[in-house]
Amino acid sequence: MGVVESTRAVAGEQVLVALLGIPRLLAHPAWQAVDRDEGRGVGVLLVPGFGFGDWSLRMAGRWLRNRGYAPAGARIGMNVGCTSELVDRLERRLEKHAEATGGPVVLFGQSRGGGLARLVSVRRPELVRGLVMLASPVLDQLGAHPSVMRVARKMARLSRAGVPGLLNEDCFAGACYDTNSTAMAQPLEVPAIAVFSRNDLIAPWELCADPCADCIEVTSTHTGMGLDPEVFRLLAPRLAAWARSSEPVAASG
């Protein structure tokens, strides 16, 4: 089994459960209640989780577009690369989307994607209207389930062997880890939402409860959070408030 296949297999059962829940999402009032003026054209940058691509947040993008937001994918591939390199790429993508939409952008990240989005928010707060983190263990970069960490460390060994585009050992105990751990501990200057679940078998909920964010508890699984109608119901009024605000909003926490 290849590296990417192993990564997906870690949450395979949760992925299946999440996909089976799509009909429930589509029938839910949180999905069907459409207001195309709600988002006011505000840009949203969708950042996928570890081992997943932009396709994994396609339903979230569709939900946002139906409400008048301007969502776009992060274009960081499968999110399995070096943390510092991915943050650099995400920053450039943020700059372009902010320019294209005419103002600060909402960063919307799931799992590791939420952590990357938080790092970019610390670096470039003037370009961020708000930050959404779904099941993102931002209080400990290495705090994910041991099975996930085994896959990540296997990638680091492959990187050392010459395979490009993967996490490397610096991401676990080196300059990359030190730099990003320091940045992750910085208080946020932007409003933020951290969604967590005690049913999450991948990211311990305690590590997702960012003290700088408005913390919201749901009952979803880790992978299923991006398809959970309750998550969309709870996010809708908060995102709409950000979209209505033409001035910077005070950070939560």
Judge if pTM exceeds 0.85: yes
Domain positions in the chain: 44-238
Residue of 90, 45, 92 whose CA lies nearest to 72: 45
Which listed CATH number (3.30.1490.100, 3.90.870.30, 3.40.190.10, 3.40.50.1820) goes with 44-238? 3.40.50.1820
Distance CA 78, CA 56 (A): 10
Residue segments in the chain with a per-residue pLDDT below the cut of 70:
1-19, 159, 246-253
Instruction: Encode pLDDT of 116-133 as tens digits.
Output: 999 999 999 999 999 999
Q: In the chain, what's the furthest Cα-to-Cα distance?
A: 51
pLDDT at position 9 is: 43
Distance CA 203, CA 199 (A): 9
pLDDT at position 94 is: 98
Distance CA 238, CA 129 (A): 12
Interhelix angle 12-20/3-10, rounded to 10 degrees, is 60
Tokens of 47: 């950042």
3-class state of residue 12 by DSSP? helix
Contact 113, 48 (CB under 8 A): yes
Query: Per 3-state DSSP, what percentage of the chain is helix, strand, and coil (rounded to 5)?
Result: 50, 15, 35
pLDDT at position 16 is: 63
pLDDT at position 201 is: 87
Distance CA 201, CA 228 (A): 16
Q: In what order do the strands lie in the sheet with 43-47?
A: 70-73, 43-47, 105-110, 128-134, 192-197, 214-218
Query: What's the alpha-carbon Rg for the chain, to the nearest Å?
Result: 17
Tokens of 152: 């990540």
Distance CA 153, CA 149 (A): 6
Contact 33, 68 (CB under 8 A): no
Between CA 108 and CA 253, with CA 190 as vertex, the angle to 5 degrees is 100
Which residue reads 């590590």 in tokens?
207
Instruction: Encode pLDDT of 62-109 as tens digits.
Output: 999 999 999 999 999 999 999 999 999 999 999 999 999 999 999 999
